[in-house]
Amino acid sequence: MAKRVYFLDGKFKKKPLSNIEDRGFFFSDSVYEVIRARNEKPFFLDEHLSRLERGLKELKINYQFDREYLEEIIKKSLRILKKKEAAIYLQITRGKEPRSHLPRKNTKPALIIITSEFRPLASRLFKEGVSVILYPDIRWARCDIKTTMLLPNVLAKIEAKERGFFVCTIL
């Protein structure tokens, strides 16, 4: 059984490899989805892929969206992983090119899929509850696009931890 399964630009990999000149690193110029799966069956796969496709259109990332291909890769990664509970992280970036705010027209988008075991929260947390902090919403105005620009979420999580809370709710 694999601990994690990596898929990058058309190939399964044993180790996570990425290009540091990818626009996803420079500018968060990418969209992503996290999909839960149980017994090799992804939850709400069609809805996740629809949102991913809409995000690509909104960001004007010219990715040749092939739903059947993505479904096939996701299902294959789950078979390789062989875990009852899994999480699939799927990201499509605009691709690699020298750093510039204006993307080139012919840049080839990058597809990244990381499939790993999912460990649910302890059941006692659902019974006992957890402490929650409220945090102001400082995200950008296009929260309808699920991009990888999650710095406000990171800051909120740090704030919650530093103040002794389990989680934060962004308002």
pLDDT of 21: 86
Least confident of 14-28, 60-74, 96-110, 113-127: 14-28
Q: Are 79 and 40 in contact (CB under 8 A)?
A: yes
Region for residue 54 given its phi and psi (left: phi exceeds 0; alpha: psi -120 to 50; beta: otherwise): alpha
Mean pLDDT of the chain: 93
Q: Where do the H-state alpha helices sit in the chain?
A: 23-27, 45-58, 67-81, 123-128, 151-162
C-alpha 75/C-alpha 85 separation (Å) is 13
pLDDT at 15: 84
Q: What is the DSSP letter of 12?
A: E
β-pair type (30-38, 41-42): antiparallel
Active site residues: 146
| DSSP code for 104 | P
Query: Is residue 79 within 8 Å of residue 108, measured between CB atoms?
Result: no
Stretch(es) of the chain classified as CATH 3.30.470.10:
4-120
Torsion over CA of 51, 46, 18 and 83, rounded to 10 degrees? 140
* pLDDT per residue as tens digits for the range 55-81: 999 999 999 999 999 999 999 999 999
Cα(81)–Cα(102) distance, integer angstroms: 38
pLDDT in tens, 6-51: 998 889 988 887 778 899 989 999 999 999 999 999 999 999 999 9
Q: Which fold has domain 4-120?
A: D-amino Acid Aminotransferase; Chain A, domain 1 (3.30.470)
